């Protein structure tokens, strides 16, 4: 470890001491469970590949346990949080001169805001950026959907979810947990479940295990069908997942010419992403 890196890490209290001191109280209504394990924080930071881009948003930095390891990379980082206490703490303890000590990073901003409502076009001069974080469980699915809405600017997404949600995002067809989130995410990103995190590395500890995943945007992420229709077909199909597609898609008023297609005799969890695209193409042609 270099002298600069040692100096940098010594400039911040260790995570365990931060939580013992109660520097920032976790708030239940914000779904906060602060990570307190340094090794896990380093491991999550290392999930970022930053291949060809340096801009990154960390959602829900809390007291910066993960933030300080992200800052070891030569990046432009925005740490975004809704919690006033966390914002004040980060502004006090993570000053620009500290980031410069380690890697020559020239851009670090603590931003108070709600990621779900924030206009992302105002960030990074409309350049590409990665997303990472220890995401609040109560909004983690919504964060993924907003990422999909802004996929043109987000080539990479890593972070920690409730384990079941992370597994669902990365699940393959044929599984009971495979669903809307799986199909829509994997239509545009390669999804990989990386590792499981136990409850005792958080303050307060959640009642469930957590899981860390990585999404890498596909080289060709444009769909060969109407994207809005694709989303509608997937959501409607899984809205009644126990029924065959022939029954669950009745609201589309499919013409008789396609009602006998073999694919419509299947249940939604039996279709992979490619097959959902093919189904959308068939429906698209039938309603033209």
Distance of CA 101 to the CA centre of its chain: 29
Supply the range of the domain harboring residue 43.
3-217
Domain co-membership, 259 together with 160: no
Domain co-membership, 197 together with 235: no
- Mapping DSSP to helix (H, G, I), strand (E, B) and coil, where does residue 36 land? coil
Q: Phi then psi for 214, rounded to 5 degrees?
A: -135, 135
In a domain, residue 201? The reply is yes
How far, in Å, CA of 274 to CA of 278, rounded? Answer: 6
Strand segments, DSSP code E, in the chain are 34-35, 55-59, 76-81, 107-112, 130-133, 156-162, 189-197, 202-203, 210-217
Q: Which of 188, 217, 246 is the last residue of a domain?
A: 217
200: which residues sit within 8 A by CB, 6+ positions away? Answer: none
Domain co-membership, 25 together with 113: yes
- Mapping DSSP to helix (H, G, I), strand (E, B) and coil, where does residue 34 land? strand
User: How many other C-beta atoms can be found within 10 angstroms of the C-beta atom of residue 255?
Assistant: 10
In a domain, residue 187? The reply is yes
Domain co-membership, 238 together with 178: no
Domain co-membership, 8 together with 47: yes
Strand partners, 76: 55, 107
CATH of the domain at 26: 3.40.50.150
Domain co-membership, 94 together with 151: yes
Domain co-membership, 98 together with 156: yes
Domain co-membership, 89 together with 23: yes
10-residue block means of pLDDT along the chain (288 residues)? 52 52 54 76 94 92 89 90 84 61 63 94 94 92 97 97 96 95 98 96 83 97 96 96 92 84 94 97 86
How far, in Å, CA of 85 to CA of 134, rounded? Answer: 17
Q: Which of 183, 217, 251 is the last residue of a domain?
A: 217
- Give the pLDDT of residue 169: 98
For residue range 150-192, list pLDDT tens digits in order: 999 999 999 999 999 999 999 999 999 999 999 999 999 999 9
Q: Which of 180, 198, 217 is the last residue of a domain?
A: 217
In a domain, residue 16? The reply is yes
For residue range 246-268, list pLDDT tens digits in order: 999 998 888 888 878 899 999 99
In a domain, residue 15? The reply is yes
Tell me 241's DSSP state.
T
CATH of the domain at 269: 1.10.8.100
- Give the pLDDT of residue 102: 44
Domain co-membership, 89 together with 137: yes
Distances in Å between the Cα of 233 and the Cα atoms of 180, 186, 224, 273 are 10, 15, 14, 12
In a domain, residue 68? The reply is yes
Distance of CA 81 to the CA centre of its chain: 15
- Give the pLDDT of residue 94: 72
In a domain, residue 222? The reply is no
How many structural domains comprise the chain? Answer: 2
Helix, strand, coil distribution of the chain in percent, nearest 5: 45, 15, 40
Q: Kindly list the strands in the beta sheet with 55-59, ordered across the sheet, starting from the edge strand earlier in the chain.
A: 107-112, 76-81, 55-59, 130-133, 156-162, 210-217, 189-197
In a domain, residue 38? The reply is yes
Token pair belonging to 7: 């100096």
- Give the pLDDT of residue 35: 79
Domain co-membership, 185 together with 279: no
Structural Rg of the chain based on CA atoms: 21
In a domain, residue 33? The reply is yes
Domain co-membership, 9 together with 146: yes
Domain co-membership, 184 together with 106: yes
DSSP calls for 53-86: --EEEEE--TTSTTHHHHTTSS-EEEEEES-HHH
């Amino acid at each position: 470890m270099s002298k600069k890196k040692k100096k940098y890490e010594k400039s911040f209290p260790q995570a365990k001491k931060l939580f013992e001191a109660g520097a920032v109280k976790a708030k239940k209504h914000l779904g906060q469970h602060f990570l307190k394990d340094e090794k896990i924080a380093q491991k999550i930071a290392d999930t970022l590949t930053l291949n060809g881009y340096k801009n990154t948003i960390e959602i829900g930095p809390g007291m910066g346990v993960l933030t300080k390891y992200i800052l070891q990379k030569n990046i432009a980082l925005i740490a975004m949080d809704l919690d006033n206490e966390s914002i004040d703490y980060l502004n006090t303890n993570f000053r620009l001169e500290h980031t410069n000590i380690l890697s020559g990073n020239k851009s670090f901003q603590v931003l108070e805001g709600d990621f779900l409502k924030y206009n992302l076009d105002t960030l990074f001069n409309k350049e590409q950026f990665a997303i990472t974080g220890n995401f609040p469980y109560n909004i983690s699915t919504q964060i993924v959907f907003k990422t999909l809405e802004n996929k043109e600017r987000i080539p990479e997404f890593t972070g920690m979810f409730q384990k079941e949600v992370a597994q669902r995002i990365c699940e393959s067809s044929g599984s009971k947990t495979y669903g809307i989130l799986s199909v829509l995410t994997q239509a545009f990103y390669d999804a990989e479940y990386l590792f499981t995190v136990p409850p005792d590395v958080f303050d307060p500890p959640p009642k469930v295990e957590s899981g860390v995943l990585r999404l890498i945007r596909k080289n060709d992420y444009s769909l060969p069908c109407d994207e809005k229709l694709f989303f509608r077909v997937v959501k409607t199909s899984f809205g009644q997942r126990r029924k065959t597609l022939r029954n669950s898609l009745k609201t589309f008023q499919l013409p008789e010419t396609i009602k006998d297609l073999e694919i419509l005799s299947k249940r939604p969890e039996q279709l992979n992403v490619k097959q959902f695209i093919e189904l959308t193409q068939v429906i698209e042609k039938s309603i033209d």
